[in-house]
Each structure stands twice: as C-alpha cells, then as structure tokens.
Amino acid sequence: MKRREFLKSASIGVAASAVAAPAVAQSMPELQWRLTASWPKSLDTLYGAPEYMAKRIAELTDNKFRIQAFAAGEIVPGLQVLDAVQNGTVEMGHTAAYYYFGKDPAFTFGTALPFGLNTRQQEAWHLHGGGMELLNELFKAYNCWGIITGNTTCQMGGWFRKEIRSLDDMRGLKFRVGGFAGRILQKLGVVPQQLAAGDIYPALEKGTIDSAEWVGPYDDEKLGLVKVAKYYYYPGWWEGGATPHLLVNLTKWNELPKIYQALVQTCAREAGVWMTAKYDTLNPQAIKRLVVQGAELRPFPQPVMEACYSAANELYAEIARNNPLFKKLLDSLTAFRSDAYQWMQVAELAYDSFMIRMRTRA
C-alpha cells in the first residue's frame, strides 16, 4: 500500500472510532444504586448472591454501574424489602416474594408454592413455562420488575423441641415458618409466626416460639438453631425449590440503558447459579456437623404429610375462586408439575434411587 493511501485509510479509521466511542460511552453512564436484602450478612450464601451480582456488574462496566448491597436492618427490616423498592427508597432489593403473601397470595408462586416444584422444575417453569411472565404481571402492580436469582434447593422442615409423631403433636405449636405455608398449617392447628432470619434464634431460645424452619443445614448451622432445638425434620414441603428474586424499582428499570438491563439480568442469573451450587456443595458437610452437634434427623410422618397436602389443596381452591391471577398461576404451575414429574420418574428417579443405594458400596 502506498504511503498516501495508508494515511488516508488510517485517518478514516480514527474518525470512525471517534464517532463510535462516545456512542458506547453514552450508553454506559455512571450510576450508583443501592440494594437492600432480606438477609443478615452472616448468611453468606443468600446475602452473598446480591454481593456477587454487584461485583460482576461493576467489573463488566469498569465501575460505571456500582450497586451497594445492604443487609437486613441497615436500611429497612428484612421483611420490608418490597416496600422499599416499590416506593423508591432503594433501587433494588433481594428477597423472597412469598414474604409478601399478605398483600396478595399470588406472591407465594415467586418463591415456592407448597407442594409445588423442585429446584430444576422451578427454574424451568420460571424461564420456559411462563412463570416469570405471569409473576411480572404481579410485580408491576407494585412498581417492581422481578428477576430470578437461583434456588436454595429443597429445604428442611425445621427444628422442633419435641418429636412430631402425629397431627396431635402439631396442634398449638408456635412455629416460625416462611410465607404462605403458615396459612396451610393454620388449618391443622399450628400457630404460624413470620420472623426474619436474625430474629429466629432469640425467639426460639426464649420460648416465644416452639419450633422454626429457615433454609437448610448450612444456613441453619450459621443461625445456631441446633443449640435450642434438637429434632430436625424433613422435608420442607413448603419449599421444594425456593427461588429468591431480585426486585428492581420499575421506574428505575425502565430508565436503565438496554446494556445495563442486559447486564443486570445476566449477572443476577450468574449469581443465582453461584448460590445454588454453593448450597449443594456446603449442605452435605453441614448436615454431618449438625448431627455431631446433637441434631436428630426425623422425617415428617406420612399422615402429617398427607394432611398438609390436603389442607394445601383446599386452601388453593378457596383462594383461586376469588383471585384470578392466583388461579392463572396455579393452573400454569400444576400443569407444568404434572408433566415434569411424569418425565422425572422415568430416568431421574431411577438413576438417583440406584446411586443412593450404591453410595456405601463405592
């Protein structure tokens, strides 16, 4: 190439880059947002997820989009995250949607419908079964946009001071239980209590409550619940696969440049994968330690499980008669669940059952 042609070509390239660079820069303005979570910092997996997301967004935007995470109680109490996001106190929140079932029972579908879906089914329903589209109809009514962030997996049934041998042992129990499950248990004579994570241990220690559930072995160990109740029941049928949500103030979400919207969605999903994988790594070791510390593992008796299942379906039918969105979500989830379990009992169940039997022979 001749020198004059080369210089001409180079100057065109410089001019083009001069035009392009400001366009990219304009689409990535400097923003400083706040996020309030429903979790204390000690729960480093749940609280760690929004921290992880914020770190990744900062890295990918060269610190142009910075999100500062706050633990429960630092800005608002853990059970007021939805309100804080809705009214613009903060731009974002990380929470469990079912905490707000008192505003609308449909919120329970965001986290986990009791006797609903397992972890993988919940992810699939949200992403490909229409779940997230239906839930964002609900979130929009509260000036929020919702994004799923992983799953805590099937949870434990909680810590009890006494053994549960029958339904009679459940009646009158003051039981800390998250979200919508309390309404089902009320039908069986349980007295449900909704408490944020940091309030559970002192309430159980003082006898304000008789029993409590949280998430699973790793988080329960961090909360120290084995020190104040020894019977550890399973499964947590109210959370076969519990999904935390990132809630974004809808006005702020709509104002975000498209590139930032894409980054938030991508990094929230990445943080969710990180969280679920971490629970699957840490729970097996934590449950061993809890048993050494005195935890006595117990399955809920079959009659108790069946009574809870029947009470749940009675409640769903009652609510669906007067709540069209609840009915729409219920119809969507139950149809999805039927097909999903029909498939999972073929290969998944056979494989898992075999591998569990072989575990001690390896």
Q: What pLDDT is attached to residue 72?
A: 96
Kindly give, in sequence order, each residue whose CB lies less than 8 Å from that of residue 193, ignoring residues fewer than 6 positions away: 174, 175, 176, 177, 182, 203, 208, 209
- CATH number of the domain encompassing residue 49: 3.40.190.170
Q: What percent of the chain has pLDDT over 90?
A: 89
Instruction: Look at residue 182 and tell me if it is in a domain.
Output: no
Instruction: Look at residue 121 and tell me if it is in a domain.
Output: yes
Instruction: Look at residue 26 and tell me if it is in a domain.
Output: no
Instruction: Look at residue 249 and tell me if it is in a domain.
Output: yes
Rounded average pLDDT over 6-18: 43
Residue entry with tokens 């076969």: 240
The answer to whether the pTM exceeds 0.75 is yes
Rounded average pLDDT over 8-29: 50
CA distance 61 to 260: 9
Residue entry with tokens 């579908």: 109
Name the pLDDT band for 75 (thresholds 50, 70, 90): very high
CA 32 to chain centre: 25
Kindly give, in sequence order, each residue whose CB lies less than 8 Å from that of residue 180, ignoring residues fewer than 6 positions away: 98, 101, 105, 107, 108, 113, 114, 238
Q: What pLDDT is attached to residue 152?
A: 95
Q: What's the chain's length in residues? A: 362
pLDDT at 20 over 90: no
* CA dihedral over 32, 36, 40, 42, signed as positive or negative: negative
Instruction: Look at residue 213 and tell me if it is in a domain.
Output: no
Instruction: Look at residue 197 and tell me if it is in a domain.
Output: no
Higher local confidence (pLDDT), 26 or 153: 153
Name the pLDDT band for 25 (thresholds 50, 70, 90): low
Q: What pLDDT is attached to residue 194?
A: 85
Name the pLDDT band for 198 (thresholds 50, 70, 90): confident
Owning domain of residue 277: 31-153+242-281
Domains in the chain, number: 1
Rounded average pLDDT over 63-68: 98
Which residue, among 164, 161, 287, 291, has the nearest Cα to 228 in the 3D structure?
161
- List, for residues 322-352, the tens digit of each pLDDT value: 999 999 999 999 999 999 999 999 999 999 9
Q: What pLDDT is attached to residue 362?
A: 66
- Tokens at residue 110, please? 């965001």
Q: Mean pLDDT across the chain, nearest whole number? A: 92
Rounded to 5°, the CA angle 84-86-90 comes to 45
Task: Judge contact between 151 and 243, C-beta under 8 A.
Answer: yes
Q: At what angle do helices 48-60 and 258-292 cross, to 10 degrees?
A: 150
Name the pLDDT band for 26 (thresholds 50, 70, 90): low
Instruction: Look at residue 266 and tell me if it is in a domain.
Output: yes
Q: What percent of the chain has pLDDT over 70?
A: 93
CA distance 148 to 110: 8
Name the pLDDT band for 3 (thresholds 50, 70, 90): very low
User: Alpha helix (H) ranges present in 28-80?
Assistant: 48-60
Q: What pLDDT is attached to residue 62?
A: 96
Instruction: Look at residue 158 and tell me if it is in a domain.
Output: no
Which residue, among 269, 264, 277, has the nearest Cα to 35 in the 3D structure?
264
